[in-house]
Amino acid sequence: MARSGTFARLLGWNRHPHHDREWRLHESRRRRDLLATPAYAVLPTYRDRHIESAIPAEEVTKIALRLRYLIEEAVPCELEAEEISRPHSRVITPKVVAAAKEAGSQQYRACVVFCLLIAKRWFMHQAQVELWDADLHAVRAVACEVIAKSIIESEEDMGYLLHAILLKRYAIIIDGESTLPVNVIEKAVDLHALSVIGSSGYQKCISYLWKGWLVQDEDDPSSFVDYQDRDSTSFVVHLDPDRMRAPMYQNAAQLLISLIYLALYTGAINTINRDGDLDVVEGLLYIFTLGFICDEVTKVWKAGMQIIGFWNAFNFVLYSLLIVSLALRFVAFSHPWDGTGERQYFNSLSYNFLAFSAPLFWARLLLYLDSFRFFGAMLVVVKVMMRESVIFFALLLFMIVGFLQAFIGMDYADDLVGDDIVFVIQAMLNAIMQSPDFTGFEKFSPPFGIILYYVFTFIIMIILLNILIALYNSAYEDIYENADDEFLGLFAQKTMQFVRAPDENVFIAPFNLIEIFLLIIPFEWWLPKKTYERLNDIVMAVIYSPLLVCAAFFEVSNAKDIRSNRLRGEEDEDTTEEWEQMADQIDFEAEGWTKKVADCKSNVEEEPAVVEVRKLGEEVAKLKEMIHGLEKVLMAKSEQT
């Protein structure tokens, strides 16, 4: 079980770190015949290599195959996705959901939701390889999500839901081998299963993980345990460096460090040193940058190139500009201050690169603001737009290369010099930016030059740019029609980035430099495990002491609310709303209000036509009984006569 820690126990902790853990990639990344991991997948799990499936992988695979057969029979033909996902669907009925629960029997029912996600992945893969039935398989994949969501929301035992259904790790058999065990929380994020992610039980689990109420067991990192001291009102109990593993506190620390990083940049760019010397502010700026670079390199080294995404590329550009700026500063140092101007020139060039990176510094803050709904939904839209832009830039590349080659050929045909290449490239870029300049092309290999430039401008401004606008509009509508679930999916992904790849010791950049140069290099290779871990705890306690104090105040306040909720028999995270304050002072049934409401409410579970047909069937049945009774009476009279 996870232990509660205090500063008083720093010198006596007995931890059991798992130094033999290693990064492992998701099975879909290492098997060519499986569906590739989507671009929005998060970090691969950092777990012990000997973790086994909570249920034998053979049984999990059999359950997944049963569920696949069930869904194939329940969805035998192409249907609209709305017919599958709408409430009280005529396709995914309560009987289908009940049958899905029985696929694992009572013994293995905990892995049914996981198996439904496996079936969804199979259908998604089948939709890619069997394009003639892509719509059918896509609808079946939706059916997997709908059933999984229904099972999650119908589970009343919250402890069983969190620890057995959502957080236990399961594996399947592929090519005769067991895959790496993962849990439902991770699998849903990898598959972008928004229906599952948007379910109440899933979000409750994510909330517990985000707050650190569910933590990984130190003795068994494959399982999660409850944070036992969340209801403790003792301030000292919550002053535990291990609480920095909670995603909420890590995100807060990263945001605070990013603000300091931005403040250092602002100070450096607004206090230019004409002599080229580095001051304290600039020194701290580059130290922070070194820490961030080490963090990025460590992620790629542990996880591989698959981890590289939009923000990794964004940070790479920012850090590259800062490295160039620092390199130019060193070049300036190599020249003496003798009035020749070389030192001043390189120093000015260094500041130009530094100033050029200002938009990137401010945009970088969005990386840590995506836990807020407004910024989160906006970032999802931007990511989808960037992905859709690939089509536009692919077409644009072919157009540019083709027309550029034509213009260069005309230039060489005219004067065999080719000195108009810069002019042609600039004119083509102006056309892409919707500011074409036709001046000069009338004398450019007449009449071919001007005609070709007109054609290029038409293709770029009328066709390709309108295609890009249409793609952006489609991406915007698709995201904002489902903005809530998209944000919940992004928030779940962000939470799993902290939970899926936890370090034994949390050193957030640039504090990772302290870990690398002051702990790992001088001490880890010779210091005993327990002593080394105790040293790490002390260092983290000192580094994060201001944040830990704030976190302790916050957790003590939460602990009081938790105790109050438990006294009322409510859930730990429950909050009393306005309409609940006097709910216990009114009895609807005693007042007769329950019966009145039942008489006036409509039946939304069934179609009106179905209700009327059922009534008609009942009346026909009564009429048949009457006719049958009348027939008996007539027959009896005829026998008497």
| Each residue's pLDDT tens digit, 541-564 | 899 999 999 999 999 988 888 888
- Three-state DSSP class for 438? coil
Most confident listed range (252-256, 378-382, 604-608): 252-256
Q: Name the least confident of 76-80, 255-259, 462-466, 472-476.
A: 472-476
Residue pLDDT, tens place only, 228-253 = 888 888 888 888 888 888 899 999 99
- For 104, residues 6+ apart whose C-beta sits below 8 A from its C-beta are 63, 110, 111, 112, 115
What band does 63 get if pLDDT is binned at 50, 70 and 90? very high
Average pLDDT over residues 479-492: 83
| 132 to 81, 90, 118, 140: CA distances (angstroms) | 17, 25, 22, 15
User: 445 in the Ramachandran plot: left (φ > 0), alpha (ψ -120 to 50) or beta?
Assistant: left
Average pLDDT over residues 344-368: 89
The whole-number pLDDT of residue 116 equals: 95
Chain centroid, CA 593 distance in Å: 45
Average pLDDT over residues 210-237: 83
Query: Does the pLDDT value for residue 599 go beyond 90?
Result: no
Query: Does the pLDDT value for residue 61 go beyond 90?
Result: yes
Average pLDDT over residues 300-315: 77
The whole-number pLDDT of residue 341 equals: 76
- Three-state DSSP class for 23? strand
Tokens of residue 98, six digits = 């009940």
215 sits in which H/E element: strand 214-216
- For 161, residues 6+ apart whose C-beta sits below 8 A from its C-beta are 152, 155, 201, 205
- Three-state DSSP class for 500? coil
Residue pLDDT, tens place only, 400-435 = 899 888 888 887 766 645 567 788 888 888 888 888
Residue pLDDT, tens place only, 616-639 = 888 888 888 888 888 888 888 787
Beta bridge partners of 224: 216
- For 383, residues 6+ apart whose C-beta sits below 8 A from its C-beta are 40, 310
pTM equals 0.79
Between 483-499 and 465-481, two packed helices, what is the crossing angle to 10 degrees? 80
Query: Does the pLDDT value for residue 4 go beyond 50?
Result: no
Query: Does the pLDDT value for residue 30 go beyond 70?
Result: no
Strand intervals (E) in 345-472: none
Separation CA 435–CA 481 (nearest Å): 34
What band does 40 get if pLDDT is binned at 50, 70 and 90? very low
Cis geometry, peptide bond prior to residue 510 (ω within 30 degrees of 0) = yes
Separation CA 491–CA 470 (nearest Å): 28
Query: Does the pLDDT value for residue 166 go beyond 90?
Result: yes
Separation CA 144–CA 193 (nearest Å): 10
The whole-number pLDDT of residue 14 equals: 35
Determine phi and psi for 4, rounding to 5 degrees. -90, 140
The whole-number pLDDT of residue 340 equals: 62
Q: Which long-range contacts (CB under 8 A, 24 or more apart) does 454-459 make?
A: 455/403, 456/399, 456/403, 456/428, 456/431, 457/431, 459/399
Q: Name the least confident of 35-44, 172-181, 623-632.
A: 35-44
The whole-number pLDDT of residue 433 equals: 85
The whole-number pLDDT of residue 105 equals: 84
- For 150, residues 6+ apart whose C-beta sits below 8 A from its C-beta are 92, 97
Closest CA to 85 of 126, 145, 125, 134: 145
More confident residue, 17 or 228: 228
- The answer to whether 335 and 346 are in contact (CB under 8 A) is yes
Query: Does the pLDDT value for residue 263 go beyond 60?
Result: yes
Tokens of residue 64, six digits = 């997944």
Counting residues of the chain whose pLDDT is more than 70, the rounded percentage is 88
Q: Is 178 exposed, middle or buried (0-12, 13-18, 19+ CB in 10 A)?
A: middle
Residue with tokens 């027309």: 403
Separation CA 174–CA 33 (nearest Å): 10
The whole-number pLDDT of residue 165 equals: 93
| 536 to 6, 461, 520: CA distances (angstroms) | 14, 59, 10
Average pLDDT over residues 464-488: 83
The whole-number pLDDT of residue 9 equals: 38
Q: Which long-range contacts (CB under 8 A, 24 or more apart) does 482-486 make?
A: 482/194, 483/377, 484/198, 485/194, 485/195, 485/197, 485/198, 486/194, 486/377, 486/380
Mean pLDDT, all residues of the chain:
82
- The answer to whether 44 and 21 are in contact (CB under 8 A) is no
The whole-number pLDDT of residue 37 equals: 35
What band does 206 get if pLDDT is binned at 50, 70 and 90? very high
Tokens of residue 298, six digits = 């460590």
Query: Does the pLDDT value for residue 15 go beyond 70?
Result: no
Average pLDDT over residues 364-380: 81
What band does 595 get if pLDDT is binned at 50, 70 and 90? confident
Separation CA 221–CA 2 (nearest Å): 11
Q: Name the least confident of 374-378, 451-455, 530-534.
A: 374-378
Residue pLDDT, tens place only, 438-449 = 887 777 777 888
The whole-number pLDDT of residue 431 equals: 87
